[in-house]
Copies of this chain bind each other. A is one copy, B any other.
Amino acid sequence: MALYRQGTYSPLIMHLQCAIDLSNAEIAALESFEASAETVPAGRQLDREGEQHNGAYIVQAGWAMRHKDLSDGRRQILDFVLPGDVLGIEGSVLRRADHSVTALTELQVSRFTFDGLESLLRQQPRLVAALVWQSACQRAVFAEHLVSLGRRSACERVAHLLLEVWRRLKMRGLAPDHAFRMPVTQVILADALGLSVVHMNRSLRQLARDGLVEKNRDCVTIIDLPGLVGIAAFDAGYLNETPMPDETQAALDRFCVTGLIPMRA
A binding-site residues for B, Cβ under 8 Å: 19, 50, 66, 68, 70-72, 74-76, 78, 90, 92-96, 98-99, 114, 118, 125-126, 129, 132-133, 135-136, 138-140, 142-147, 149-151, 191, 193-194, 233, 237-238, 240, 244-245, 248, 250-265
* Oligomer copy total: 2
A151 touches B98 (CB 8 A): no
How distant is the Cα of A249 from the Cα of B251 in the complex, in angstroms? 31
Cβ of B262 and Cβ of A260 under 8 Å apart?
no
Docked CA distance A146–B76 (Å): 7
Interface pair B245/A95, CB less than 8 Å apart: yes
User: Residues of B contacting A94 with CB < 8 Å?
Assistant: 133, 136, 140, 240
Pair A68/B143 contact, Cβ less than 8 Å: yes
* Bound CA span A71–B260, Å: 44
Contact status A78-B143, CB under 8 Å: yes
3 residue pairs, one from A and one from B, having the closest CB atoms:
A150-B194, A149-B149, A98-B140
Within the complex, which residue of B114, B125, B126, B237 is in contact with A254, where a contact is CB–CB below 8 Å? B114
Tell me whether A259 and B258 are in contact (CB under 8 A). Answer: yes
In the bound complex, do residue B254 and residue A264 qualify as a contact, i.e. CB atoms below 8 Å apart? yes
Residue numbers in B under 8 Å from A66 (CB-CB): 143
A147–chain B nearest beta-carbon distance, Å: 4
Residues of chain B with a CB closer than 8 A to A151's CB: 70, 74-76, 194
Chain B residues within an 8 Å CB radius of A129: 92-93
Q: A188 to nearest B CB, angstroms? A: 13
Instruction: Compute how far the CA of A78 lies from the CA of B151 in the bound complex, rounded to whole angstroms.
Output: 11
Roughly how many angstroms separate A143 CA and B151 CA in the complex, as a whole number? 16
Provide the bound-state CA to CA distance between A144 and B142, in Å.
Answer: 10
A118 neighbours in B (Cβ, 8 Å)? 254-255
Closest chain B CB from A48 CB (angstroms): 12
Question: When the two chains form their complex, are residues B257 and A260 in contact, meaning their CB atoms are under 8 A apart?
Answer: yes
**A129 shortest CB reach to chain B, Å:** 6
What is the CB-to-nearest-CB distance from A141 to chain B, in angstroms, rounded to a whole number? 9
A258→B115 CA distance, assembly (Å): 15
The answer to whether B248 and A265 have CB atoms under 8 Å apart is: no
